[in-house]
Structure 1
Amino acid sequence: MLVQDAMTRAVRTVTPETRLYEVAALMCINRIKGLPVVEDGDRIVGIIAERDVLHRMFPRLDELMAEQGPISFEEMESQYREVVNLEVRDVMSTRVITVPPDYPLLKATSVMVSHRFRRIPVAVDGRLCGMLSIGDVHKALFLKHMRLS
């Protein structure tokens, strides 16, 4: 099986200029954990994941080490409004790993597993053509090998 046999072709995307509150709404309402960031229609320039939004609220390790008193998690939580007013470009990951649609499905899965990804963009020449998730892989394998006759 190839990636193109299992990937999702209709992919929601955002741009670097998209406000994080729009991303957060998409993620919360549609249960989406990550979105490709594109420019010029389909050129992949980054990935924005749920954890990217939430990590922006957490102090870095060096900040924690320098802290002179108890940490106020309530204060950290109140930063959420500030974080969601940022643009995607402020928090997205720009190191994007993709797989091509004609890649063997289990080879793509091994790339995902080795990087601890649950989903990976499918691209040709840097242009998005789909997304592949662990769930897509499982579903494709199940349908291929467990069809009831």
Structure 2
Amino acid sequence: MKVRDLMTKDVRTLKTNHTLREAAELMASLNVGVIPIAEEGDKLRGILTDRDIVVRAVAKGVDITRAKINDYMSPKLVSINPQETAAEAAKLMAEHQLRRLPVVEEGQMVGILSIGDLSVVDIHENEAGYALGEISTPSRPQL
């Protein structure tokens, strides 16, 4: 099955100049843990997760009503083309320990794929389960 058939197509984005509070409010209203950050239409610039907000800002006492997304988002992106297979997506998610994968076509974000999207598909050798196992394993012990 292709990524295009599994991805969420209606994805809300924010811009780099929005505040962390605006991002948190949008996450709460949509009941999601990630907001893609896009500029110039749907050109993906980064990803902001609920963990980014808490660990990089709130835990350090940053005023989230003033702090801009640009300073706290994860700019290093791993994405996938909508024509790739679910198995390839699972492999990428496992390799990079990602729970969500932006779907990009010709430089524009066209959707997002989550590990949950993969779990409803019967893909070879249970790649979704493998990916989740790899994602959930810390890259190094957290002591």
Shorter-chain TM-score above 0.5: yes
Deviates more, 1:96-105 or 1:20-29: 20-29
* Contact 1:20 1:85 (8 Å CA) reproduced: yes
Q: Out of 76, 82, 85, which is 1:104 matched to?
A: 85
1:109-128 correspondence to structure 2 within 5 Å:
109-128=90-109
SS, match of residue 85 in structure 1: coil
**1:9 maps to what in 2?**
9
Matched positions, count: 122
Gap regions ≥5 residues in structure 2:
124-143
Q: Which residue of 2 aligns with 1:55?
A: 55
Query: Secondary structure at 2:120's aligned position in 1?
Result: helix
Q: Give the CA RMSD over aligned residues.
A: 1.6
Counterpart residue type for residue 2 of structure 1: K
Q: TM-score with structure 2 length normalisation?
A: 0.79
Residues of 1 paired with 2:12 and 2:120: CA distance?
20
Shift of 1:125: 2.3
User: Matches of 2:32 and 2:96 in 1, distance apart?
Assistant: 19
Once the two structures are TM-superposed, the CA of residue 84 in structure 1 deviates from its matched residue by 4.0
Q: TM (normalized to structure 1)? A: 0.76
In structure 2, how many angstroms separate the alpha carbons of the residues matched to 1:129 and 1:140? 20
**Using the alignment, how far apart are the partners of 1:113 and 1:102 within structure 2?**
19
1: CA distance, partners of 2:35 / 2:14? 7
Q: After TM superposition, what 4+ stretches of structure 1 lie above 3 angstroms from structure 2? A: none
Contact in 1 for aligned 2:36/2:47 (Cα 8 Å): yes
Q: Provide the C-alpha distance between the structure 1 equivalents of 2:22 and 2:55, rounded to a whole number of angstroms.
A: 17
Match of 2:116 in 1: 135
After TM superposition, give the deviation of residue 32 of structure 1 in Å.
Answer: 0.8
Residue 18 of structure 1 corresponds to 18
Matched residues in 2 for 1:24 and 1:110: separation?
29
Separation in 1, partners of 2:65, 2:32: 16
**1:83-113 CA-partner distances (Å, limit 9, x unpaired):** 3421110101111111000001111111012
Task: Give, as a single letter, the amino acid of the residue that structure 2 aligns with 1:3.
Answer: V
> Following the alignment from structure 1 to structure 2, what is the Cα–Cα distance between the partners of residues 105 and 84?
38
In the other structure, the counterpart of 2:70 is 89
The one of the two structures with greater contact order (alpha-carbon pairs below 8 A, sep at least 6) is 1
- Cα distance in 1, alignment partners of residues 34 and 15 from structure 2: 13
